[in-house]
Chains A and B, each alone.
Chain A
């Protein structure tokens, strides 16, 4: 077990290294060169000279790379946004919680709906619920997230007027934002109206973003349940006379958990990518809209900082998933 953990952690090194090199190389490859990219299109000769001195663009590549790593990791300086002239790291702190909240809500939606759906579909293999679950799964992965978002918005917000169309919270409600996770903030403020308002704003984007994870979770649960169902030890347990429900809970779920846990890790990447598209449709003030604006404005510092950060998070999540996978599945530890 320990060997596995160590090996897995060691794997982190080349990945992080490679990631930083990739991003660094990317900055150098941007149109116009790094000075243009980091300062904006029309930079003056003075500011260009300043950037060149600061980043030492005359120095050999390795020195530049080292300096880049140092400023990013040690100083935690991700540069300055071209548009707002604020530090990227500061904007990141504001934007990230919004996306996390959305991603968590989406994941919750996917799990809460997907696991039971997959389970029931497997139990009634071939029946109408099973067919329905397959259709839902298929549609989930075949529909572009932004189109689903537009559809949901059109039906529930415009036509039916049931849910709000944009933002995280109504402007009429005033609460403090100590954590910048609006659900938590509302709870801390002890304001049920605010809490309900925040949840209402979360519903449509979470459904849109969670549609693909929902499809996948449902399928995986279904497949896992089917698989385990037919395993010998399950049959044995049933033959022994254990009631079916006990068998299910004890054996099937525990083993279905394994692939589901893996899926969560894989989904993070999807969620982070999907957030970019979903947030645009709902004007959600998170990483997604931040990056899209950065693309439009060629705000490379923001793009670089954002992509780097998101990738880091993704790598970490995968690490955690891999380690917990090992914890759950004893077979892995030995291999």
Chain B
């Protein structure tokens, strides 16, 4: 085996494994990232086990609990109080986690999958494909995020699926650009050139060199995108564009009706809002931690 071959082999092994192990180590010792994991864990746990955790059905209310006003605040039987239809607010917030998790994950999945494919194509093949795709992304990015989502919902009509699609579509350009950048950078990298020189095939290069390195910013971005997705979906819900059945316990929609009760029943507005903040905070903390852990610039620093 020639020296070049041996070196290429070595290089081939170094890139992926070392990166991940390093990153995980760093992440484990990052206290805020750990807090983030805990928060995410809580969020997912509540979402998954909602039927077990929630004492009541979030859609059925008992009007007699209202005693003629709106609305009784937190108490021993109802930890988060009662909402304006006599429903248990705690159950609603718990089930709301399901909606936020589902909508967030699906939107990011849509944006990520389409964006990655487009970005990889643009980055790897370059030329006309690159120009056209990137111009398309520029055009999409020229409309501010929420407005683009609103435009899409205006076209499709309001509803849960529609806002998932809308938020997903707004995420596409970000992932596409990211992927393209990573692919481009990786393509020019020394070890890739070396691997090509030695004769490693194109798909193999893509698979074992370019993609793993390109993935790290994508993973960071995906985590952060989940955070944004949850907020954007809540925003669309707040504007009344979300689930059209008012009984649906989606956090953003739960916030729309409550501003009129701010004086008499502030818990109805404050609690779902805090739930959103906690969940989003978790994803942001982890995303930041991942970014620090995976960023080569930070290697060697405290």
A and B touch in the complex (CB under 8 A): yes
Q: Which B residues form the contact surface with A (CB < 8 A)?
A: 32, 135-136, 138-139, 142-147, 150-151, 153-155, 157, 227, 231, 234-235, 238-241, 252, 255, 259, 262-263, 266, 269-270, 273, 276-277, 280-281, 284-285, 288
Q: Determine the interface band of chain A, counting residues with CB < 8 A from chain B.
A: 35 or more
Assess whether B139 is in contact with A19, with CB atoms less than 8 Å apart.
yes
Chain B residue with minimal CB distance to A292?
B239
Which residues of chain A have C-beta atoms less than 8 A from B32's C-beta?
A: 134
Assess whether B146 is in contact with A277, with CB atoms less than 8 Å apart.
yes
Instruction: Report the separation of the CA atoms of residues A15 and B147 in the bound assembly, to the nearest whole angstrom.
Output: 17
Task: Return A87 CB to nearest CB of chain B, in Å.
Answer: 20
What are the interface flags for A1-20 relative to B under an 8 Å C-beta threshold, 1 for contact and 0 otherwise? 00000000001001100110
19 contacts between A and B (CB under 8 A): A15-B135, A18-B142, A31-B155, A142-B231, A142-B284, A143-B276, A144-B252, A147-B255, A147-B273, A150-B273, A269-B144, A277-B235, A277-B238, A280-B239, A281-B259, A303-B151, A307-B151, A314-B142, A314-B144
Instruction: Report the separation of the CA atoms of residues A12 and B150 in the bound assembly, to the nearest whole angstrom.
Output: 24
Which residues of chain B have C-beta atoms less than 8 A from A143's C-beta?
A: 273, 276-277, 280
Nearest 10 A/B pairs, CB to CB: A273-B146, A18-B139, A147-B273, A269-B144, A142-B281, A142-B280, A273-B144, A311-B143, A272-B144, A315-B142
The interface-forming segment of A45-53, A151-159, A233-241 is A151-159
Chain A contacts with B in 136-179, Cβ cutoff 8 A? 138-139, 141-147, 150-151, 153-154, 158
Interface of B is mostly: helix
Assess whether B135 is in contact with A139, with CB atoms less than 8 Å apart.
no
Instruction: Report the separation of the CA atoms of residues A141 and B136 in the bound assembly, to the nearest whole angstrom.
Output: 28
Which residues of chain B have C-beta atoms less than 8 A from A315's C-beta?
A: 142
Assess whether A295 is in contact with B142, with CB atoms less than 8 Å apart.
no
Which residues of chain B have C-beta atoms less than 8 A from A30's C-beta?
A: 154-155
Which residues of chain B have C-beta atoms less than 8 A from A108's C-beta?
A: none
Interface of A is mostly: helix
Task: Return A79 CB to nearest CB of chain B, in Å.
Answer: 15
Task: Return A285 CB to nearest CB of chain B, in Å.
Answer: 17
Q: Which A residues form the contact surface with B (CB < 8 A)?
A: 11, 14-15, 18-19, 22, 26, 29-31, 134, 138-139, 141-147, 150-151, 153-154, 158, 268-270, 272-274, 276-277, 280-281, 291-292, 295-296, 298, 300, 303, 307, 310-311, 314-315, 318
